[in-house]
Amino acid sequence: MASDTVCCPPQAPRPKVAHPVAQKGGYEPLGTYEKVGDFEKVYVTGPEKADHAIVIIYDIFGFWETSLRGWDLLANHLNLLIPHKLYAPDVFRGKPFPPDKDGDKDELKKFFETTAKISDRLPEVIKFGEQLKKEFKTVSILGYCWGGKICLLSLAKDVFHSGATCHPAMIANEDGDNLARPFAFYPSKDEPGDVVKYIAAKLKEKPFAKECDYVLYDTVHHGWAAARADLSNPENRKQFDDVYQRLADYFARVNAPRRSRM
């Protein structure tokens, strides 16, 4: 596994936007915060009744406004295709990485060794998925940045029906080797190109290759679909809208009844 302290991503220049660019106060979320399973706070969005669920694992900034906007958009798109209920557990339990410390390597290292320690958080996410499987026909997973790594690791196990990630952090070739479930892969221009190509090639070799999807979003920076999104930038907004429609199309296709495996 890649080091827990590597994120956002170190091998690429920092995007030429403020970090994170979105300011709170301009968007009214459509979902609600509820207690679900072992988590006291889970952002829940989507229709009241649905046969399918998606567990969302946020980036290091937690419940950021542009992230919430994206999840609501995804739920709305899916409602027109195959309704899904989306659950974003507060895996950091009220202590996301502070935006004013963005770029502080020592603080990030400390965060990844404690609050965001993958070996501690991954079992909790898997347990949460197992709990939801008792209620839904399929349960998938979607992750961003740090959450993208959690997503990849979880898909090496037979827990989630399928998964997707936008601009994942800490990716390694072994993530492609170990994938055991259908996967949609949407990296940005800032992820390591050799690893992106390796994982994309591995998807074509999987027995479930026809159920996978891959698009390199090479005109936008790491974080464009979550907390680092700059929706005032036309290209960022265009690709933000594109990826959420693509995610909806993907989950609707892979979780269609004829493909259900749970």
Q: The domain that contains 252 carries what CATH number?
A: 3.40.50.1820
**Surface-to-core class of residue 13, CB atoms within 10 Å of its CB (0-12 exposed, 13-18 middle, 19+ buried):** exposed
**Residue 56 placed within a domain:** yes
Does 13 reside within a domain?
no
Is there a domain that residue 241 lies in? Answer: yes
In a domain, 22, yes or no: no
Number of domains in the chain: 1
Under a CB-based contact definition with an 8 Å cutoff, are residues 171 and 165 in contact? no
pLDDT of residue 238: 97
Q: How far apart are CA 13 and CA 221, in angstroms?
A: 10
* Two structure tokens written together for 28: 């009214």
User: Is residue 122 in a domain?
Assistant: yes
Return d(Cα 165, Cα 168) in angstroms, integer. Answer: 6
pLDDT at 11: 40
Tokens of 227: 């907390």
Q: How much is the pTM? A: 0.91
Q: 73's torsion region: left (phi>0), alpha (psi -120 to 50) or beta? A: alpha
Q: Which long-range contacts (CB under 8 A, 24 or more apart) does 20-24 make?
A: 20/61, 20/64, 20/66, 20/99, 20/102, 20/223, 20/227, 20/228, 20/229, 21/228, 21/229, 21/230, 22/64, 22/65, 22/66, 22/227, 22/228, 22/229, 22/230, 22/231, 23/65, 24/64, 24/65
CA 236, CA 258: separation in Å to the nearest integer?
35
Phi, psi of 228 (to 5 degrees): -90, 10
Look up residue 95 and give its two tokens. Answer: 């202590």
Does some domain include residue 76?
yes
Domain-located, residue 1: no
Contacts of 154 (CB under 8 A, 6+ apart): 122, 125, 126, 129, 141, 160, 163
pLDDT tens digits for range 187-222: 999 999 999 999 999 999 999 999 999 999 999 999
For residue 222, report the phi and psi dihedrals to the nearest 5 degrees: -60, 125
Task: Write out the residue range of the structural domain in which residue 155 sits.
Answer: 32-259
pLDDT of residue 25: 59
pLDDT of residue 27: 87
pLDDT attached to residue 232 = 87
Q: Report yes or no on 10 lying in a domain.
A: no
- The confidence score (pLDDT) of residue 102 equals 82
**Residues of the chain predicted below pLDDT 70:** 1-25, 258-262
